[in-house]
Structure 1
Amino acid sequence: MARPKKRFQQLIEEIDRTPWGPEEQALVAEAVALAVELGDERLEYEARMRQTASANMVGATDVMLNSFAWCLAHHDADPQRFPADLDNGGADLMWQFKWMASSLRSSPAFSQEQIAAVLDDMEAHYRAAGLGLSGVLTARFEDAWDAGRMDDAEALRVQLEATPRDDHSHCDACGRSQFAGFFADTDRDADAIRLVEEMIEGGFSCGEEPEHALSRVLLPYLRAGRLEDAKTAHLRSYRLAKDNPDNLRIVANNIVFAAVTGNEARALALIERHIGWLAHDGLNVDAHFAALTAFAVALDRVVATGHGDTPVRGADAPALVGLFGEHDGAWTAAELATAAWTAAERIGAQFDERDGTDGHARSLARSRRLADESWDVPIRSDAFVATAPATTPTDADGWFDRAMQLAQFGAEHETLDALPRALEVTDPGKRAQLLSMRLGILVALDRIEEAEQVLPERIAALRDAGRDVQAELELRLGLATFGLDTDDTRAALEEELAAAERLPAWSRGDLAISRASLHLHADEPDAALDLAEHAARAFAEAEDTRLSNTTTLVAIGAVLSKGDLEAATALLDRFLAQDDLSAGHRAQALQTRARVRGGTGEHLDGAADADEVCRLLAELGATRALADAHVLAGALWEDADHPDRAVSRYRLASRLRAEAGGDATGVDFRLARAMLRSGDAQEAAELFGDVLQREEQADVAPASRGMTATLLARALAESGEFGQAVGVHGYAAELFGEGAEHADQAMAMTEQAKILARFEEHDDAIRLLEGAAEIVRGAPEAVGALSEVLHSLGQAYGGRGDERAFALFDEVAALAQQHEAGWLHADVTDSRARALAQLGRIDEAVAAALTAADAFAELGDPGSAGGSELFAARVLAGNERAADAVAVYRSALEHAEGFPPLRQVTALELGDVLEGLGRHGEAAEVRALLES
């Protein structure tokens, strides 16, 4: 029996240090089961007390109610053996009482009498235990507010504010959040905002705070005209809430925000991401009401923007039939909007009947009135994708043209999708061409058996078209002319080519281009180019413009394989100047030229080509290929240093990939990175978090996840979320360590240390930097990381007057000289100056700073030169050498031209120094510069 008890104790210890979530839930369930197996009710009580808290945090209401009832019954029966407080740092039984009434209120299955009985029982237990009544008043206030008894709720709020706080009062975060929500509901926006801002400024947090509070003041911020504050609150609230299904109300508030701020596509994306949460907690019906109402508001906006026919992914899940009813196929936004309003009205009526009020009806009416309110707060994480082009074919001949264009571009999947309708053409020549396309694609997709079944149909179509020679040729060769690459097919093609003079021109061209393509795939460009020339002559003789152009593209591919970018570019330019190109061939050539231009540094021209490819493919309805084309365009715009333009391309690519059921993780990584470069750090942080979560679920290599985590941490830091940024940098360091990427690991630790130092946590920062230095020395080839880490550690030592700084500066300077990194040498010289000043070595410090300034100026960096001179001047002025400082200040002022903040600071300080020297006229002249 000792071993199971020891295991139980291990479980309890592990539970108490594991964050809320699936892992912690599993541990709790194991502990309860083990206690039951042991037949030890005292141990079971310990486990179930934790189970109640766990279930509350993750929204398992049925588990929470059952667990609490079991614990309360045992406590009442024997308070000594089953104490209310286990003193484990978690919620005690009396605190858990507060969750019970709220949980009963959240489902209309429980009567008002049952809720009142729980509240009375709670008060009786509090009084019997000699506890203050703040917790009881809080529960009664919540009950009145949720039921819509607003006068009662206001009276209880006032009474609660006048009641002394005690150990069972809401924490600072939860109390402020709760009152803020009530104030927002009762049109006291300024009070709501004040409470939430007090919470944020005070750094108060709790299980679902500050994300809940931030979501409660989204509309108050908008109504107050504080749009940027509203956007910041939304992005932070949603990012913190999006991973826990118990946060359904918080997500609902954020969906409403997206809907009323012109971000309908984002609102729809959030609905699709979280609609499954409606099935998470069957007893939290009031949260379902809030979510359904939010969905309805948002979907109405989607309809109003002209996207009512957009399918809502996830809405047809079997678990949601009870809410929305039966439906044939996918729900459109318009259909689901109606269903969501209907479900919300049905649930609201059930609550109002239970409560004897019209609270939920009034809530619905307020939500409907939002249709008349809107604010412009652009968020660029999502966008609607254009529907099928207006030129969708209407007959078989139209589909024939569409399929041919798609095939000429190389859009394999879209071509296969178009072929069934195209093959309804009656012209046997056209059917033969279409079947050739099908065969080539099936072989390319390695669907050989399917291709073998189609081949007889192709041969029959050739005979019907009167092309018996070609039919006999393909009968002999099988799939050789359709790209099948084996020893036998290559030999067969060579044999037929040797005797090709007896064949018609078109057949000779077909043989030559087929063999050229195999040479190209085998990385034999010279042979491919030679045969492409033969094919071009044959197709020209046969007067087949389409295949002549196809052959030119093969030839261009061969030239590119040889690495001759100049020749390939010239061929592409001439090819694109032709007036006989199909849209498919033009798009293919433009895409090739875009890639070539990207490779040769002509990023703007390449991006323009890629954008034109996107336009052509959109007209052709090539949705999969269009996603890839948008990725290419985004990459080129990024390389051209236009990340804002890259954002729109990546965003469309992501949506297209997702709508096609593909994996958009890679595109979303690019999108988040472009957002970060564009200055949209908060939106980037949200998306990087999603990407990292998906990468973890897919068990992506640790180092790759580490890169995502690094960028997430950077986005968090730029968003002002420094505490989270420190943690994520630490996680990135762990991932890089796991992946044996030591330079990246050291850099992550260095970034972590920089944030800690910013907040005066110097001891922790130095410990991290020392560890990073030890790690990075194991990767001496990573010169950039090595110099960065050693430089940062030297600066940290120097800031504390530690002589060890100088050996590190010497090492970095040597690396800079070895690798001709002039700017780094100047920078480490500046760092040396600051360390010398810290040690009181004034002359050496000034000399080093001025040396750094000269180096920066010579490198064309006047801003950094001015910064070094400003430091030198301050050192002189601060050491009773004001007269010497004047000339240095003046030089710094000259270098500060074009850098307003540096110029302003330098002029102010120089003016003060001149004033102190009694040189009042000069001081006035310098200060006058501030007004110019």
Structure 2
Amino acid sequence: MTEDRIQQIREAMWENFHAPNGAPRNARAEELVAQAEDTADAGVLLAALSHLITTYEYSTERSKMFVPFARMLRMWDDDPGQFDDQMAYELFWRFKWVTGSMIDYPEIPLTAIEDWLGEMERRYRLAGYAARTVRCEEFSVAWHLGDLPRAESAYAAWLAGDRDRMSNCHACEAATQGRWESSHERDELALERWQPVLGGQLSCAEEPHRVLAYSLLPLLRLGRPDDARNNHLRGYRMARGNESLLPTIARHIEFCALTGNEARGLEILAEHARHLGLGGNPGSTLSFLEAAVLLLDRLLVRGLGDQATSGPQGRSWTVDSLRAHCEQLRRDLVTRFDQRNGTDVVSRESADRLAQQPLFDRLPLGVSGVLPGAAPAARPVPTTTPAATPATIADDSSDPSDSFDDLLAEARRLRDLGHPTARQSWLAVEAALGDRTLDDVLRAELATQRGMRVAGDDVVVALACFEEAAAAYRTAGLPGDAAVNEGRSAVAAVLSGRADEARSRADAAVEAALTARLAGRATARHHASTLLSRAKVFSFLFREGQDAGALSQAQAALSETIAVAGEPEGLSATDAPRLLAILADAHYNQAALLEEDLDLTADALRAGADAYLRAGQPWNAADPLVPLARVHARQGDYAGAEAVAADALRYGEGLLDPEEAGSTHLLIADLQAHREAHDEAVQHALEAARWLDEAGLGAGPGAAARHRLALSYQALGRHAEAAEVLQSALPDLLRHGDRAAAAARRTLGESLSELREHAAAAEQFAQAAQIVEGWGEPYPLAQLASCTAEALSAAGRRDEAEAAYQRAQGLWSAAGVPGMVVRTLRARAWLTFRDGRSADPGRALMVEAERTARDALAEPGLDPEPADDLRRELADTWRQLASLLRDVAEDEGWGDTEIAPDQRTALFTEAAELYRQAAAGFADCGDSCLGVRAQALLDAARVRIELEQHEAATAQLKEVRELAAEHGELLAAAAKQAGSMLDWLERQARS
């Protein structure tokens, strides 16, 4: 009974070892120690104590490890014979854990830490271990204390010492060495130290998690933001929720605070807000509090102190109050450390960390980037404008009237240029008005600007503004400008649902402009502008379906606008570009009415872009160029589409509003992905997500940009980044309709599968299948069912996987895809075999797969391509059945019972024949199956060797060499294997 109980405790420890880090795992380990004590078995008690120390080490309760370790050490001192070799190793290994963790607890005196360090050195020496690990721990203590001479001496001795069983793993040593170099501003050397970890050559339970975080700021300082972004996305995914990695998580928050990604930083802080207190490891808590204060300070700079945020449970928090809370705790901790250490090193280093300034205004990460309570960004304002720098208000000693006159002149100049920053200039004019008396012209100009500014939000107010402007222009004796505003009021009227009034206003505006032009009191610009307004009225009525004849009227008005705007006339330097801009706008609107004729639409959009360029308004050329790029893409001219979209970005650089910039970047990313330029697509998708977030569209087009980004990451094999980005966007994508939701879940599932997060992947595939089920389309549903089954199988959930495979099999059959039915049957066969059963159930499923393939091949009228696919599936079924039988015969631990020698021989013989049959089947499938054909022959030869049928094996190996001689490098590896096996057979024959 005691032996059974001991075994149960050991199994429970193994299960708990694989549980998530944290208090529940620790509590279970404590229970197991109590149970081990009841057995009176020293071996299981030592194992339980060692397990308890491990759970404490990887949690925020590291201080608790001192007690069980002291107990183990007493047991060693009382009777070392109680410890087998493994348990003695674990005792000394955990010695350095205890020693290294003491420095993180300010209540432990320095004298005790130094005494323990000496005790560690003594015991290691007596046990025959090298001093290398002791010097490493001494280095950490000296570094913490700021004793640089001692730290450098210990560091050198550590690196020079011999490695032995007690040495830290290579990955952990590289992590610490890199941190030391980085702390001395030797970033390149730090990255050199970290490279084996970052490159995947070295790893352990907590690496590369920590190194990915440590590398973030050094990479930014070295001008490698792309690498920093990737390390953040990969690294935080690894560290998230792991309380033993609290300082690592803090590094990610710090990175967000210093790269303009406060929204991401807030999300991370909220996920770990329970650690914003003093209940855990003080050293780790201090690091986390520092990062929190740094982040919250950046939010205060942005004016978000009153913004609600997450914090420790028990009260509501704002950014301001949480910052005060974290800062008080931080100050208390650094004071305690300084008092213990007798120096101000910890407080100075903490203050230096908080004093860091942002390294980027905004480094796009691809994940959610919108701060709660932040308003959408306005159109970017460039530092300079064409031909002049915008006037600014002079200092107090200048004449205020001169300053206002300068502002007004600049606003008019930018308006006449059609420059995007004209709106900001007119706002500056309004702000500087004071109690000035306005003349009619200025009153009209201000009313016009107000109308255009509010038109997108309140067309009724806009209409009133345009009416006011028209009246003021008439009073000023400028009938042409009055008519232009009457036309604008017509557009506002139709947008407010007053169709008849809009028609009347539009006609009156055109008539007034023409009359004034004929009288020499207006120009072609005024006339063309009113015609364009009339065209917009009828275009709106056409789109809304309110007027059957509106299309022809809109087209007629646009044609007339183009004719008038293109008339040669001695216009002023101000009027000429404004007329060209009207011409461009007319072509652009014309294109919107020509959607079904792509060639004519393209011509109209190109004409509009060219007119803007001739008008000296390249920033506006982006408006027609972006839809022109989409037209080219619909025509199949993807290269032309990408070039046009790139022109749109180039012409509008720094001047496109955030939505325009974001949608253009997204278009380019889609086009680059189409030509598989995924590295370039990543950059444009990042920019798209950034600008769409800034425009307040992160939940709409911004989510689509993140899906594109994830797909491009996925195509590059960067599945951690893909999954992190897509999980961030998933809630928004799920609101974009069933197609988008299903695609997002499938993409996420694929990346999770590659990351071996199979259970999570299965959940995504299953939820995608639930969405697809209502479509009545068996093919995508069958695909998702297969993906779900594969993920469940990989997750070890055998019964659920079998049910999913059976469902997929039925769906593939309903979809009329027998090749996939065959594959599903084979997958079920392997699942049955790996469940620990005999060969018979798996053989039966493989035979059913073979029959399915043969029956499908026998169908009359089968097309050549599906026939070739089925022949390959049939040959592969023979090959996989052979492998299944071989594995059973080799008894690799799958089966529940021993196999008799004659039964094993029969299985090997059948497998050899099936491999040979498969090779012949692949031969009928042409050169595309050369590799699997050669592999089948090699496998057949290996089984023949197992059967000691060396002559048959030699014949098959020679066939491989002949194939390789015929096809060269394609089969070089197979030829090499065949040659090695033939050499062995020759040696056997000679012996």
Query: Match for residue 531 of structure 2?
Result: 509
- How has the CA–CA distance of structure 1 residues 473 and 730 changed in structure 2, closer, same or farther, with 3 Å as cutoff? closer
1:671 counterpart (709, 731, 739):
709
1:265 counterpart (259, 266, 272):
259
CA shift, 1:866, in A, is 1.9
The answer as to whether partners of 1:141 and 1:153 remain within 8 angstroms in 2 is: no
The answer as to whether partners of 2:366 and 2:686 remain within 8 angstroms in 1 is: yes
Gaps of 5+ in 1: 1-15, 22-49, 58-67, 81-90, 107-114, 165-177, 200-208, 301-307, 323-327, 409-413, 858-863, 920-932
| Structure 1 segment 472-483 matched on structure 2, within 5 A | 479-482=489-492
CA shift, 1:540, in A, is 3.9
The answer as to whether partners of 1:292 and 1:341 remain within 8 angstroms in 2 is: yes
CA shift, 1:99, in A, is 7.5
1:565 counterpart (594, 598, 602):
598
2:825 counterpart (793, 804, 807):
793
Query: Match for residue 647 of structure 1?
Result: 682
The answer as to whether partners of 1:383 and 1:651 remain within 8 angstroms in 2 is: no
The answer as to whether partners of 2:536 and 2:554 remain within 8 angstroms in 1 is: no
- How has the CA–CA distance of structure 1 residues 421 and 888 changed in structure 2, closer, same or farther, with 3 Å as cutoff? same
- How has the CA–CA distance of structure 1 residues 849 and 138 changed in structure 2, closer, same or farther, with 3 Å as cutoff? closer
Deviations 1:700-730 (A, max 9, x none): 7687555434323332444xx31x1343233
Gaps of 5+ in 2: 1-15, 39-47, 84-89, 128-136, 145-150, 176-202, 313-317, 370-376, 392-406, 518-525, 572-578, 834-841, 886-909, 945-951
How far apart, CA to CA, are the structure 2 residues paired with 1:530 and 1:752? 58
| 1:455 and 2:460 are equivalent in the alignment | no
Deviations 1:837-856 (A, max 9, x none): 55748778656655555545
- How has the CA–CA distance of structure 1 residues 315 and 811 changed in structure 2, closer, same or farther, with 3 Å as cutoff? farther
The answer as to whether partners of 2:289 and 2:330 remain within 8 angstroms in 1 is: no
Deviations 1:778-813 (A, max 9, x none): 6x3xx67x8546524335538943311124435776
2:494 counterpart (484, 488, 494):
484
How far apart, CA to CA, are the structure 2 residues paired with 1:520 and 1:440? 23
- How has the CA–CA distance of structure 1 residues 449 and 529 changed in structure 2, closer, same or farther, with 3 Å as cutoff? closer
| Structure 1 segment 377-776 matched on structure 2, within 5 A | 388-391=381-384, 393-394=390-391, 395-399=407-411, 420-421=427-428, 439=451, 442-445=454-457, 447-464=458-475, 466-468=477-479, 471=482, 479-482=489-492, 484-485=494-495, 488-490=498-500, 492-493=502-503, 497=507, 504=514, 506-507=526-527, 509-519=531-541, 521-522=543-544, 527-540=553-566, 544-559=579-594, 561=595, 563-578=596-611, 579-580=614-615, 582-620=617-655, 622-663=657-698, 664-692=702-730, 694-695=731-732, 704-718=740-754, 721-722=755-756, 724-737=757-770, 740=773, 744=780, 746-754=782-790, 766-774=802-810
CA shift, 1:633, in A, is 1.9
How far apart, CA to CA, are the structure 2 residues paired with 1:351 and 1:556? 71
Deviations 1:555-602 (A, max 9, x none): 12222x2x2112222344444445235224311122122111222222
How far apart, CA to CA, are the structure 2 residues paired with 1:708 and 1:678? 17
CA shift, 1:907, in A, is 2.1
Deviations 1:122-152 (A, max 9, x none): 999999xx99998999779744543374425
How far apart, CA to CA, are the structure 2 residues paired with 1:826 and 1:904? 25
Deviation larger for 184-193 or 740-749: 184-193
| Structure 1 segment 42-53 matched on structure 2, within 5 A | 53=24
The answer as to whether partners of 2:380 and 2:658 remain within 8 angstroms in 1 is: no
2:249 counterpart (238, 248, 251):
251
CA shift, 1:309, in A, is 12
- How has the CA–CA distance of structure 1 residues 292 and 605 changed in structure 2, closer, same or farther, with 3 Å as cutoff? farther
Local SS of the residue matching 1:146 = coil
1:805 counterpart (849, 874, 883):
849
How far apart, CA to CA, are the structure 2 residues paired with 1:728 and 1:279? 28
Query: Match for residue 331 of structure 2?
Result: 346
The answer as to whether partners of 2:296 and 2:319 remain within 8 angstroms in 1 is: no
The answer as to whether partners of 2:366 and 2:690 remain within 8 angstroms in 1 is: no
Query: Match for residue 947 of structure 2?
Result: none
- How has the CA–CA distance of structure 1 residues 810 and 909 changed in structure 2, closer, same or farther, with 3 Å as cutoff? same
How far apart, CA to CA, are the structure 1 residues paired with 2:964 and 2:58? 68
How far apart, CA to CA, are the structure 2 residues paired with 1:369 and 1:487? 56
- How has the CA–CA distance of structure 1 residues 893 and 556 changed in structure 2, closer, same or farther, with 3 Å as cutoff? farther
1:890 counterpart (954, 958, 962):
962
| Structure 1 segment 234-245 matched on structure 2, within 5 A | 236-242=234-240
Query: Match for residue 874 of structure 1?
Result: 938
How far apart, CA to CA, are the structure 2 residues paired with 1:274 and 1:415? 40
How far apart, CA to CA, are the structure 2 residues paired with 1:667 and 1:295? 29
The answer as to whether partners of 1:681 and 1:715 remain within 8 angstroms in 2 is: yes
The answer as to whether partners of 2:689 and 2:706 remain within 8 angstroms in 1 is: yes
The answer as to whether partners of 2:938 and 2:957 remain within 8 angstroms in 1 is: yes
Amino acid at match of 1:673: L
| 1:151 and 2:114 are equivalent in the alignment | yes
How far apart, CA to CA, are the structure 2 residues paired with 1:665 and 1:609? 24
The answer as to whether partners of 2:713 and 2:722 remain within 8 angstroms in 1 is: yes
CA shift, 1:538, in A, is 3.5
Query: Match for residue 828 of structure 1?
Result: 873
CA shift, 1:647, in A, is 1.0
Query: Match for residue 169 of structure 1?
Result: none
Amino acid at match of 2:938: R
CA shift, 1:553, in A, is 1.2
Give the TM-score normalised by structure 1: 0.63
Query: Match for residue 202 of structure 1?
Result: none
How far apart, CA to CA, are the structure 1 residues paired with 2:68 and 2:828? 59
How far apart, CA to CA, are the structure 2 residues paired with 1:161 and 1:370? 42
Query: Match for residue 411 of structure 1?
Result: none
| Structure 1 segment 62-141 matched on structure 2, within 5 A | none
Deviations 1:824-877 (A, max 9, x none): 4454244244256557487786566555555454xxxxxx33224314533664
How far apart, CA to CA, are the structure 2 residues paired with 1:607 and 1:556? 20
How far apart, CA to CA, are the structure 1 residues paired with 2:915 and 2:56? 63
The answer as to whether partners of 1:211 and 1:241 remain within 8 angstroms in 2 is: no
How far apart, CA to CA, are the structure 2 residues paired with 1:673 and 1:315? 37
The answer as to whether partners of 1:293 and 1:340 remain within 8 angstroms in 2 is: no
The answer as to whether partners of 1:591 and 1:613 remain within 8 angstroms in 2 is: yes
- How has the CA–CA distance of structure 1 residues 711 and 196 changed in structure 2, closer, same or farther, with 3 Å as cutoff? farther
The answer as to whether partners of 1:481 and 1:514 remain within 8 angstroms in 2 is: yes
CA shift, 1:509, in A, is 1.4
The answer as to whether partners of 1:184 and 1:216 remain within 8 angstroms in 2 is: no
Query: Match for residue 283 of structure 1?
Result: 278
Amino acid at match of 1:770: Q
How far apart, CA to CA, are the structure 2 residues paired with 1:370 and 1:820? 67
Amino acid at match of 2:248: I
| 1:904 and 2:972 are equivalent in the alignment | yes
Local SS of the residue matching 2:494 = coil
Deviations 1:682-705 (A, max 9, x none): 22232223233x449x87768755
- Give the fraction of aligned pairs with identical amino acids, expressed as a percent: 17
Give the TM-score normalised by structure 2: 0.60
CA shift, 1:905, in A, is 1.6
The answer as to whether partners of 1:676 and 1:715 remain within 8 angstroms in 2 is: yes
How far apart, CA to CA, are the structure 2 residues paired with 1:586 and 1:601? 23
How far apart, CA to CA, are the structure 2 residues paired with 1:503 and 1:497? 10
How far apart, CA to CA, are the structure 1 residues paired with 2:820 and 2:462? 58
